[in-house]
Amino acid sequence: MAEEPKKLDIDKINKGLLNAFMLDYKSDALAGYLYLKYIYQFGYRLLKVMGRDVKEPDYQPVDEGTAEMIQLFVDQVCERSLSKETSIMHSKIVRPEDAFKLVRQTENMHLVPSERVIPFKLTREILFESPQEIAIGRCMCRGVAAHPCVPPSEQDLCMWIGEPNVSFLVSQNPYFRKVTPTEAVRILEDAHKAGFIHCAYFEKPASDRFNCICNCCTCCCMSTTNWHLFGSNDNPFLAPSGYVPDVSDACNGCGDCAKACFFNAISVEEKTKKAVVDLKKCMGCTLCEDKCPLDAIKMRLEPSIGEPLDVEALKRGAFGRK
């Protein structure tokens, strides 16, 4: 006889979410519940406030009262996002190598990276509980974009890591499913080949810590597109990876890197016909390195713009505590 599928204990899953918030911040769990359960309604309202061309996600209907509560939370996020001191939803670009390290973790751990790594005052802990539990789900930004860059069938690009968020998402949000760490690595590889930028997200409503790796585009994504409001790598919602391109003598000035760079951080100098990097703008996303036909670009560490989110290095280093 076929085994009965295991019944989900929703009560336990909800309590898990509540328990993830520290005693003084238990009230944030309500925002967390609404955010994770109605993430597309949240994204729709957030991107609308930002003036983006969005459409209401009719696949995730909410009643009027819930919609009002989501809007209150969106307003709070927007207000707080104007400064690195108060921001509660932000991300850091990570090279694919560093994204792989995050999805390959097997141990529970607690790291508090310095502000050189995550340059925000609040919400910058990495607290892994059961990191092999990974969920992939529909991208919030593309899922509400009026003209998304990829169709809904290819929008499974948000990768959530660890408990309690994974259990909550897969049980209460029909657009998320569990994947194995091996599948997660394959999804990351494909996303990289498609030219998407990997961002490690830190969000207060997602238990006030690192919660997911997003595979972002430069057209629909709230973080990459908002970068242009500030126009530099010193901004309150998106931190640079800590790497910058080094251009070798092999460069012939073809300009492919400049065309690929969304952040206007690399250009070809007219006199020398060589690519030059603007360190104040470069986000270290590696798109130019991938695009260079002559292999003339190699990424290097640039301490003046911060340190990378390299979880293995953090585990060995001074910032981490288990």
Provide the binding-site residues for ligand SF4, judged by CB under 6 A. 139-142, 157-158, 214-216, 220-223, 245, 247, 251-257, 260-261, 263, 265-266, 268, 275, 277, 282-288, 291-292, 294, 296-297
Minimum CB separation of residue 236 from ligand SF4 in Å reads 15
Minimum CB separation of residue 3 from ligand SF4 in Å reads 36
CA 237/CA 171 separation, integer angstroms: 29
Tell me the pairing of strands 266-268 and 126-128: unpaired
Do 215 and 156 touch, CB atoms closer than 8 A? no
Minimum CB separation of residue 318 from ligand SF4 in Å reads 27
Minimum CB separation of residue 186 from ligand SF4 in Å reads 17
Query: What contacts 88, CB < 8 A, 6 or more positions away?
Result: 76, 77, 80, 81, 122, 123, 203, 204, 205
> 120 vs 319, which CB is nearer to ligand SF4?
120
> 89 vs 109, which CB is nearer to ligand SF4?
89
Minimum CB separation of residue 64 from ligand SF4 in Å reads 25
> 109 vs 191, which CB is nearer to ligand SF4?
191
> 102 vs 257, which CB is nearer to ligand SF4?
257
H-helix or E-strand containing 193? Answer: helix 181-193
> 167 vs 225, which CB is nearer to ligand SF4?
225
Strands (E), the chain: 89-93, 109-111, 126-128, 134-138, 156-161, 176-179, 197-203, 209-216, 238-239, 243-247, 266-268, 275-277, 297-301
